[in-house]
Structure 1
């Protein structure tokens, strides 16, 4: 791009309040505009044409990091360079009070441009868990997706899942296992590829190794690739990809290789007409032939690829697996190799691809070479990333109260059942923990007079008071309505009363204004001590009874469950 054209383009972007900075193919700065300096004032008077992007990033991070993080600046800089080189989708970040959306684009024969635009911070950093039907999110995913409970029973599945396994639209899948669905599909056929139950055994075996992809054969020559992920709550989240076309292509290429040893022209035609990128490499990784689709994918020409090596286009993490596989295939020790990894395009960007390698022997090639099929899976990777974000939000919703952000009843009960997580010592007697139940005094009047809007606003403020007490040994939760719970580990029991009284004082200080009125409440609390192995339900009843006594005493205070063994009170007298 000529300098005068570059300046005109930069000025045009200034009129649109879009920051712009251009780098060449070696990540060296070529130009920028005024909006760039306004968004990133740390560069004003310091950036210069010819400096490497590394220097740019160092100034950027030095301006953002506090003293405790400055020793990591080199790591952040290198990650920033990698992100710059491989970025394919816009992302957002906050800098100096602005929320900026940035996109990077390679420009042929010029380099790589980065553009930033300020966006509304109110819509970019929403942290409230989403509301509504969870299945709607799953339905938006482009591939099959299912969630199973710890026993392998389906909880949810999208319509793409039903289509892959040949289930009628609207067919109920909840409560069934994947083994049952696949077995039923095979039983419906007159002839079977496997013996009875063989596919089900395959599925059960692979589900022991969550995260390792496995393939399922279905009737009519269809294939599914499944990737399981086991969540902390025992649920299994599975992605189901229809790889029938890929398997057909793979089988077609292998069959073509066997019959084309004396017919080179036919082999070349198969390669060129393949719907995936294809290359032929010798035993040393030298590219002997490549089709135009692969060349286009890598941003070059088939002629240039033909004089290069496979390894030059692989990410460094994928080099050793590819070298070992090629050596094994060339030695006749391995029939096929399949790998999901990154290919490096000529412009330095990385392309996620599913590649398969199979042996190839023709009269024109000395020894055994390999045919490599490369399928672009960037769209699938983007879908997986979006799916993972949705699952994180789903899991958050399952264990948190939407109004206050506190743990919900399910999370509170789970923590009670897992006393090992509450600082139980490795040996000796388990130390006492504490349960505190907190009930708001006068909350009904707030709802009656101010309406549910005032009630919800007050509950949200109470939630903030309790969140301030949350820590490694303290778990606050909203148990329902205006009832809250506090679970204190052994390390927090000694100061339990002080913690609770600070919470009650914080609640007492809450004020909510509505229609000229000011609403406030007090809170009563009941606390009971217990040890791992105690009857938790009885401990909860004791804490509830203590809370009721606190209310009868006039409210606004905390009462210990009575009776409490003196040795267990830890210096906390009942009140």
Structure 2
């Protein structure tokens, strides 16, 4: 934070004591601020402010009037033709500063920034600048790209909008407009003004009214106004038109650089002071409604003491939790977290305060007032020294939607992976998974001199089930067989359905005697069980082909073929027996 060497009075001292930590924090977030007292005199600024506006480095002083600040700013920006109007530029900028204008965007020293102004009750105003991406040129044949933020225009065609509307590209060239806009600027119905700059349109309008100064008045008064305001994307301004008419222009620039401007006719409100005040109020109300559909949700922010007690919280913080900021004061930072995370949060905050960790950034679950769980990215830093006396500056950003989307994605991927490796009828692993397991078994046999067994299991008499009761019954009985087989193998063994009425079994770490015993157990379990479907009962047999998996074996294909041949011999030998290849 930078505040100069001298004091401009009690107000400046109070501002520095209250907002010095915030200025330092915002430096770390690449946010520039400058705070002015109630008399529009500089009281506090940070290093990012000097980086964004290097013309002030070594020049700005505590107690300097904002007018002097603006003079340096415009002396750098204005060319020789415009410098004669510098006093007008300064006064308009000063008026914007004193009004409750919304955020706007402008370019300075090859940097695009968004500026916002906030009242500090009883102290003055703070101006904050954040760097934004440079707008990109958009095809002029489009009204608005899909990323345009003005959903209200998407939902209502310009022809049906109740106010004059025009869309401009990066070069102030008219892309589209409605009939009300054409009428406002006295454009004949048969004339198309697409491709004309807004400056040329206004100039032509004034040139058609020489009795009011015409082109000379435009060059002297109107042109500098347009040049100044067009640099500041998003700022509302008032534009005088011939025949004592006035319009208030409210605009919004999207990421591609297109500007949608609403030209509110405020002529009748400028006739008398009372009417003017009502007009300005209505314009602000309409502007607020206009911007409501495109407003970004701000990040929640709180200030807490060393023990985690919340001292201040903004509207966004309260909104995330379902409480007003006043209701949060006096609670702990972790009071609204999921109970299972509260102890972890206490420990982490204690580490932050003690200096064991320099900063905090973690995702945590919070409990909303309505009882729902919400995810937030929580970041925090601990500030000490000066007037802070130890404070935790914490931010929370709602990431609930992303976490839910990730959870759904993970569940879908898990389900897809399971489906890819399992038989849809029995739930057993499928042939592909079986062959992968066999590859692993063969590898361990080669590396560790371990012996395994590969078994092919083929049901005897299963065709009778399909012939007598149909394929639905056959499917159900295959499920019963799968459950029966699973109940008679070890947890480490791998059972799979290879297709039709064939199953595969890999018996881990066993000799031939153990394998034969296992095969006999499976044959007995299947052949002695009655498999029922509706009022019918079926008995089945089981033929088993066995081969060992040892380090001498060369390939999975060879092992599978050997086990299949053994199973075939078992069937030919009378079924319900096991044969070793």
TM-score, normalisation: structure 1: 0.43
Q: Larger Cα Rg: Structure 1 or Structure 2?
A: 2
